[in-house]
A = this chain, B = another copy of it.
Amino acid sequence: MDIKTLCLGLLCDGDASGYDLKKQFESTFKHFYPAGYGSIYPSLAVLADQGLVQCHAMPQDKKPDRKVYRITEAGRQVFETSLADASPEHKLRSEYLVAMYFADYLEPEQLEQMLTNWNQTLSDGVARLDLIEQEFGPDVPPGTRFVLGFGKALATAMASYVEENRSLLLPATSTRNKRVDARIESSSTAQTTNLENRV
């Protein structure tokens, strides 16, 4: 699944311009599938080329034409197929976890700073999701409620975990060297142990 498919999906819910779609990608979708103009505009162009959407240009005073896109029958079918076909992927990429893994290469104050920072980011995230939910008013569509709730639940779980386990990373005694030895030994299947040949 890529941004093209996502645009198609959003257009299933109604006509929109690239600018409109961007707003969705920055609000409801931000925590699990963000996208910028650089991906959205080219996607729409391709979709129009393929006949999966139609473009209607609406002239405006002193602004570029507002290009409103509407999904076609073909587009709708393509979307539904790719939604059902895909074996969905769920990927996390976290530099925070990298930093935590290597915590003993950080100064304690840096580590503290980073943990504080992370916590702040997480609660900001929850607040942001709450705001979005409020903006929908009383009738939040089920899918939207599900993904917003998911985001909040995850952020909360992460914050708790970090709070409850930060002590793991602070102690004075590092075990890093033990791990090192373990890895070197287990991977020494080579014939020679001499590291010095052919520097």
The chain A residues found within 8 Å of chain B, CB to CB, are 1, 6, 9, 12-17, 20, 28-29, 31-33, 54-61, 66, 68, 70, 79-80, 83-84, 86-107, 110, 114, 117-118, 121, 136, 139, 141-147, 149-150, 153-154, 157-158, 160-161, 165, 168-169, 171, 174-176, 178-181, 183-184, 187, 190-192, 194-199
Contacts and interface: CB of A to CB of B under 8 A. Distances in A.
Given A33-B93, A33-B97, A17 B83 contact: no
Given A94-B33, A118-B88, A171 B157 contact: no
A125 to B, nearest CB: 9
Contacts of A117: 87-88
A101 B176 contact: no
Contact of A190 (B60, B84, B154, B181): B60
Q: Give the most central of A14, A66, A154, A191: most B CB within 10 Å.
A: A14
A165 B144 contact: no
A13 B176 contact: yes
Q: How many copies does the complex hold?
A: 2
22 contacts: A1-B98, A9-B98, A9-B102, A16-B183, A16-B187, A32-B94, A56-B195, A56-B196, A83-B106, A86-B95, A86-B99, A87-B117, A90-B95, A90-B118, A91-B93, A91-B94, A101-B146, A102-B143, A136-B179, A142-B169, A153-B157, A153-B160
Given A169-B142, A171-B142, A190-B58, A79 B105 contact: yes
Nearest to A87: B117
* Top 10 A-B pairs, shortest CB-CB distance: A157-B157, A88-B95, A14-B180, A101-B143, A32-B97, A32-B94, A153-B161, A88-B96, A90-B94, A58-B190
